[in-house]
């Protein structure tokens, strides 16, 4: 049925376009007056007047119908089922399964009748949507055909359609972001303040605690296991690995960008840049086992040869490989911004007798600074958010240390560890993942803010 | 660059007998410039006197800017560009491999078509050249150089209270005078100007022209311009370029009143270009 609706939608849209184009062309040929807008604009306007309402009615209507069908089906269950979130959720699943014909076992009379109500509402609602959609389409078509006159400014009106469509696309992205943040925020609040959650830490305990051990008693006789949700070891681990990664990628990336942009011949650049960007295309899981199986033993061996005791899973190994991973972000973006610095600035410095390296250091790089800082910020965000490399190479031990030779763990690794396997969403352990996610988001936000302040203070704006 | 002994002798044979009254500051002998296969400048011979303004005029693409950029070797930055022939400043071959191009550019300043101040403060713009060449031993010497250069460029009065503001915040004409101050600050002997007023309004243009007139008693100034009125106003000698050749060169009055060559006549009367 849905397919049929969209087939009708497509057909009506094309038909509207064709009819409107023909109508307006006919006027243009026959009449003595010139059309304000070209026939194609009349066609586009008619098509959008058909397409947009049909789509909107479908999207909004199907939400509405599902809500209505659900509440009507639920109202047939006893009051205790309706009031309990868990029970009503499971009842609804049964209703939907039965309505779809996938219910196993015998169904109770209440369930059968609820499922029948659900199906009936859904069916009626769907027909109503289709009817309303097609009606709206024909109304829109009739209106737009009636408005085809030489003086009608279809070209101007189409601009507002474009405006609305673009705004809607931007809106989807923004609303999604807000939605994600809001959902993470709600769960985080539950983690900290919901009295039903056992073993939850206080906010201060979470933010400043130095022990991370999210163990949970699984059986009654394990009741004395004490879990700890101190966030500090994870933060230091994350920052340590990110710091190592930036120490590797910062100089290498920026210097290779300068080479590519200023020194390399065009031919060299043509081949070298894509090769460098391939590095960004290597899946991080591949880099992860490269880190664990190749780099970590190398680091350990190198450490042993100079008498250092290196853990087999070390922050250094993970940081080095992560640094390799983010080189292309820094080099490619910095290369672009360095190239965007006007040649006239370089000429000005050359004409004063500056050498090439003086020109780059004193004129080109300061002018490109905002872009270079953005490149670094993107790279840092990637490094902070990176999971696979750290899972494989840095380990899970939440050590509070700044020694790069020790095993550490990061925020993302703990989120992943907590959420792998079966979950119950009313335990402190699971909700801790949301709290971690929220703090991670906050850390990145602060870093971005600092970077923007930095750029505003030191930027040298050309042109 | 590609100067063999034979070339050099040939160049000297082709050189015209110099008629300039003053001793030549810059001399070109049989200069050719190629961009890849394109022969952009053909057998240019000219003597440019010290302490005066020489203007290069001619239609677009005639090679006048190309020739200008040979004099401080800015063409070196274009990899496909090849220069042959002899260009000397004070009888020193500037394409001599032993010559340091960085030192040359300190002696030959340049002002560009579009004002290109660095995105730094007004002070740092002017101090840039003195700093990289180590012309000042301390802060007060540097202050003196900056002040003197801005004064010479006629900009001091307008910017003395805001030396730490960005140079890119000035108006177009002020920016161009800042670029001139920046060039003067390294104490050059020759100043090249590549259509310095083409991006400016008439008032700013008038200021720059007055400035050029003030500067000519101390420098050898070479200016490329599209405006024949400007050439007539500011220069003492004029050279007319056409299709990559230097057609005619002489005192400005003579070029504009009784040119020897028909092409010059056609150009200055507006028949082409």
How do beta strands B237-242 and B52-57 pair? parallel
**How high is the pLDDT of residue A250?**
94
Residue A50 to residue A144: CA distance in whole angstroms: 9
Find the CATH number of the domain harbouring B237. Answer: 3.40.50.300
Looking at CA atoms only, how far is residue B103 from chain A in angstroms? 6
By C-alpha distance, the chain B residue nearest A265 is B79
Of residues A85, A156, A92, A147, the one with CA closest to residue A118: A92
**Distance between CA B244 and CA B62 in Å, rounded?**
5
B63 by DSSP, 3-state: which?
coil
Q: Which residues of A touch B145 (CB under 8 A)?
A: none
CB pair distance less than 8 Å for B112 and A461: no
Q: What are the backbone angles phi and psi of residue A426, rounded to the nearest 5°?
A: -115, 15
pLDDT at B18: 44
Tell me: the pLDDT tens digits for A187-239?
A: 888 888 888 777 778 888 888 888 888 776 555 555 555 677 888 888 899 99
Q: Which of A251, A270, A459 is nearest to A374 (CA)?
A: A459
Residues 94-113 of A with CB under 8 A from B: none
- B32: domain range? 5-268
Nearest CA in chain B to A365: B119
pLDDT band at B1 (very low <50, low <70, confident <90, very high): very low
Arch. (CATH architecture) of A228-458: Orthogonal Bundle (1.10)
pLDDT(B6) > 60: no
Mean pLDDT of B180-202: 92
**Residue with structure tokens 């769907």?**
A126
Q: Establish if B69 touches chain A: CB-CB under 8 angstroms.
A: no
Nearest CA in chain B to A266: B79
* Residue A212, SS3 per DSSP: strand
Helix axes A315-340, A266-281, angle to 10 degrees: 140
pLDDT over 70 for what percent of chain B? 91
Q: Token digits for B205? A: 């243009």
Round to whole Å and give the CA distance between A364 and B94: 27
Alpha carbon distance A275, A439 (integer Å):
36
Euclidean distance between CA atoms A362 and A88, whole angstroms: 68
Query: B49, B21 in Cβ contact below 8 A?
Result: yes
Q: How far is it, in rounded angstroms, from Cα A28 to Cα A14?
A: 21
Q: Cβ–Cβ of B133/A355 closer than 8 Å?
A: no
CB spacing of B116 vs A461 below 8 angstroms: no
Q: Does the pLDDT of residue B13 top 50, yes or no?
A: no
Q: Nearest-CA residue of chain A relative to B70? A: A351
Q: What is the pLDDT of residue A82?
A: 76
What is the rounded distance in angstroms from the CA atom of residue A299 to the CA atom of residue B146? 54
Judge residue A176's burial from the number of C-beta atoms within 10 Å of its C-beta, 0-12 exposed, 13-18 middle, 19 or more buried: exposed
Say if A349 is an interface residue toward chain B (CB within 8 Å).
yes
Contact partners, residue B197, CB within 8 Å, separation at least 6? B176, B204, B205, B208, B209, B225, B227, B230
- Predicted pLDDT of residue A223: 55
Closest CA to A410 of A245, A197, A227: A245
Residue of A407, A438, A434 lying closest to A423 (CA atoms): A434
Interior angle at CA A246, CA A243 and CA A250, nearest 5: 150
A355 interface with B at CB cutoff 8 Å: yes
Per-position DSSP letters for A264-299, written without gaps between them: S-HHHHHHHHHHHHHHHHS-HHHHHHHIIIIIHHHH
The owner of tokens 């002798």 is B9
User: In the prediction, which pLDDT does B84 show?
Assistant: 92
Residue B170 forms contact with A (CB below 8 Å)? no
Closest partner CB to A345 (pick from B72, B116, B133): B116
- CATH 1.10.3720.10 domain range(s) in chain A: 228-458
DSSP H or E segment with residue A124: helix A109-146
Cα separations in angstroms, A404 against A230, A240, A400, A409: 21, 7, 11, 12
pLDDT attached to residue A405: 84
Of B251, B246, B175, B228, nearest to A348 by C-alpha is B175
Q: Is the pLDDT of residue B16 over 50?
A: no
Q: Which residues of B96-113 are buried (b: 16+ CB within 10 A; e: fewer)?
A: eeeeebbebbbbbbbbbb
Taking one residue from A and the other from B, the number of pairs with CB-CB distance under 8 angstroms is: 72
Q: Point out the residue among A265, A348, A355 whose CB comes nearest to the CB of B118.
A: A348
Distance CA A318, CA A298 (A): 12
> Does residue B71 carry a pLDDT above 80?
yes
Q: What is the ipTM of this complex?
A: 0.86
Q: Answer whether A352 sits within 8 Å of B72, measured CB to CB.
A: no
Q: What is the pLDDT of residue B5?
A: 54
pLDDT tens profile B103-125:
999 999 999 999 999 999 999 99
Give residue A178's pLDDT.
95
**pLDDT at site B19:** 46
Q: Do A353 and B128 touch (CB under 8 A)?
A: no
- Summarize pLDDT for B142-167 with one digit per residue, the tens: 999 999 999 988 899 999 999 999 99
**Is B72 an 8 Å CB contact of chain A?**
yes
Flag residues of chain A having pLDDT under 70. 31, 216-226, 425, 460, 462-463
> What is the C-alpha to C-alpha distance for residues A325 and A279, in angstroms, rounded to an integer?
7
In A, minimum Cα distance to B121 occurs at A460
pLDDT for A224: 55
Kindly state the greatest CA–CA separation across chain B: 58
Whether the CB-CB separation of A212 and A231 falls below 8 Å is answered with: yes
Question: What distance in Å separates residue B107's CA from the closest CA in chain A?
Answer: 8
CA distances, A422 to each of A91, A197, A418 (Å): 21, 18, 10
CB proximity B129 to A under 8 Å: yes
- Determine, for residues A349 and B103 on separate chains, whether the beta-carbon distance falls below 8 Å: no
Asked if residue B273 is part of any domain, the answer here is no
Total domains in the fold of chain B: 1
More confident call, B3 vs B244: B244
| Residue among A272, A266, A408 at smallest CA distance from A328 | A272
Confidence category of residue B273, pLDDT binned at 50, 70, 90: low
- Round to whole Å and give the CA distance between A351 and B73: 9
Structure tokens belonging to residue A267: 């031919």
Return the residue in A347, A353, A462 with the most chain B beta carbons within 10 A, the one to mutate for interface testing: A353
- Residue in chain A closest to B126 (alpha carbons) equals A352
| Chain A CA closest to residue B113 | A344
Minimum mean pLDDT among A363-372, B188-197, B205-214, B263-272: which range?
B263-272
Contacts of B106 in chain A (CB under 8 A): 352-353
Inter-chain CB proximity A350 and B74 less than 8 Å: yes
Q: Helix or strand or coil: residue B82?
A: strand
- B168/A347 CB distance under 8 A: no
Residue listed under structure tokens 């500011």? B234
CB contact under 8 A, A353 and B103: yes
Cα(B122)–Cα(A245) distance, rounded to whole angstroms? 38
Nearest chain B Cα distance for residue A226, angstroms: 60
**A78 at B interface, C-beta within 8 A:** no
Whole-Å CA distances, A214 to A22, A196, A219, A220, A242:
70, 17, 15, 17, 24
Cβ atoms of B7 and B84 within 8 Å: the answer is yes
pLDDT at A326: 92
CA distance B179 to B270: 32
């Amino acid at each position: 049925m849905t397919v049929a609706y969209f087939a009708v939608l497509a057909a009506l849209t094309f038909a509207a376009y064709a009819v409107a184009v023909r109508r307006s062309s006919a006027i243009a040929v026959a009449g003595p007056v010139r059309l304000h807008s070209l026939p194609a604009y009349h066609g586009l306007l008619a098509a959008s007047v058909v397409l947009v309402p049909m789509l909107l009615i479908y999207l909004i209507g199907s939400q509405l119908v599902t809500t209505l069908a659900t509440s009507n089906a639920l109202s047939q269950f006893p009051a205790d089922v309706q009031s309990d979130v868990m029970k009503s959720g499971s009842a609804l699943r049964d209703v939907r399964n039965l309505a779809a014909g996938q219910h196993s076992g015998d169904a109770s009379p209440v369930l059968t009748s609820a499922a029948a109500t659900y199906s009936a509402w859904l069916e009626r609602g769907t027909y109503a949507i289709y009817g309303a959609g097609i009606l709206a389409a024909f109304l829109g078509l009739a209106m737009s055909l009636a408005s085809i006159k030489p003086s009608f400014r279809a070209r101007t009106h189409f601009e507002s359609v474009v405006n609305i469509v673009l705004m809607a696309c931007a809106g989807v992205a923004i609303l999604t972001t807000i939605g994600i943040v809001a959902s993470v925020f709600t769960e985080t609040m539950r983690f900290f303040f919901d009295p039903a959650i056992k073993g939850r830490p206080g906010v201060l305990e979470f933010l400043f605690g130095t022990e991370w051990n999210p163990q949970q008693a699984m059986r009654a006789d394990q009741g004395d296991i004490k879990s700890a949700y101190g966030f500090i070891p994870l933060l230091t681990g994350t920052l340590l690995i990110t710091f190592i990664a930036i120490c590797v990628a910062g100089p290498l990336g920026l210097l290779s960008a300068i080479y590519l942009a200023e020194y390399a011949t065009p031919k060299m650049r043509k081949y070298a840049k894509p090769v460098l960007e391939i590095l960004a295309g290597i899946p991080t899981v591949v880099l992860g086992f490269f880190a664990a199986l190749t780099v970590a033993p190398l680091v350990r061996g190198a450490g042993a040869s100079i008498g250092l005791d290196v853990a087999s899973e070390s922050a250094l190994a993970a940081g080095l490989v992560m640094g390799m991973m983010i080189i292309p972000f820094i080099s490619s973006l910095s290369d672009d911004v360095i190239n965007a610095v006007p040649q006239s600035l370089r000429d000005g410095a050359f004409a004063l007798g500056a050498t090439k390296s003086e020109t780059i250091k004193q004129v080109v790089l300061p002018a490109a600074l905002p872009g270079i800082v953005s490149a670094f910020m993107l790279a840092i965000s990637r490094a902070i958010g990176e999971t696979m490399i750290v899972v494989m190479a840095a380990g899970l031990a939440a050590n509070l240390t700044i020694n790069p030779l020790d095993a550490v763990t990061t925020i993302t690794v703990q989120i992943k560890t907590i959420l792998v396997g079966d979950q119950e969403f009313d335990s402190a352990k699971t909700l801790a993942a949301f709290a971690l996610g929220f703090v991670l988001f906050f850390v990145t936000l602060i870093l971005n803010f600092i970077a923007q302040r930095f750029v505003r203070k030191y930027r040298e704006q050309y042109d | 660059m590609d100067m063999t002994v034979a070339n050099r002798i040939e160049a000297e044979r082709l050189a015209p007998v110099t008629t300039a009254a003053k001793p030549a500051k810059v001399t070109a002998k049989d200069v050719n410039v190629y961009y890849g296969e394109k022969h952009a400048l053909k057998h240019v011979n000219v003597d440019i006197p010290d302490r005066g303004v020489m203007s290069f005029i001619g239609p677009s693409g005639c090679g006048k800017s190309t020739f200008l950029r040979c004099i401080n070797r800015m063409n070196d930055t274009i990899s496909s560009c090849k220069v042959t022939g002899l260009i000397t400043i004070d009888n020193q071959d500037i394409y001599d491999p032993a010559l340091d191009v960085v030192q040359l550019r300190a002696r030959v300043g340049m002002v560009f078509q579009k004002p290109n101040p660095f995105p730094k403060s007004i002070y740092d713009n002017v101090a840039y050249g003195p700093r990289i060449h180590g012309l000042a031993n301390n802060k007060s010497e540097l202050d003196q150089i900056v002040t003197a250069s801005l004064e010479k460029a006629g900009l001091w009065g307008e910017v003395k209270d805001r030396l730490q503001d960005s140079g890119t915040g000035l108006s177009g004409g002020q920016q161009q005078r800042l670029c001139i101050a920046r060039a003067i600050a390294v104490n050059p002997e020759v100043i090249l100007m590549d259509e310095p007023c083409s991006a400016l309004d008439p008032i700013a243009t008038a200021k720059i022209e007055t400035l050029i007139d003030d500067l000519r008693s101390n420098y050898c100034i070479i200016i490329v311009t599209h405006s024949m009125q400007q050439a007539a106003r500011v220069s003492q000698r004029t050279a007319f370029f056409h299709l990559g050749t230097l057609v005619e060169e002489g005192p400005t009055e003579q070029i504009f009143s009784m040119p020897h060559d028909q092409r010059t006549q056609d150009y200055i009367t507006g028949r082409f270009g």
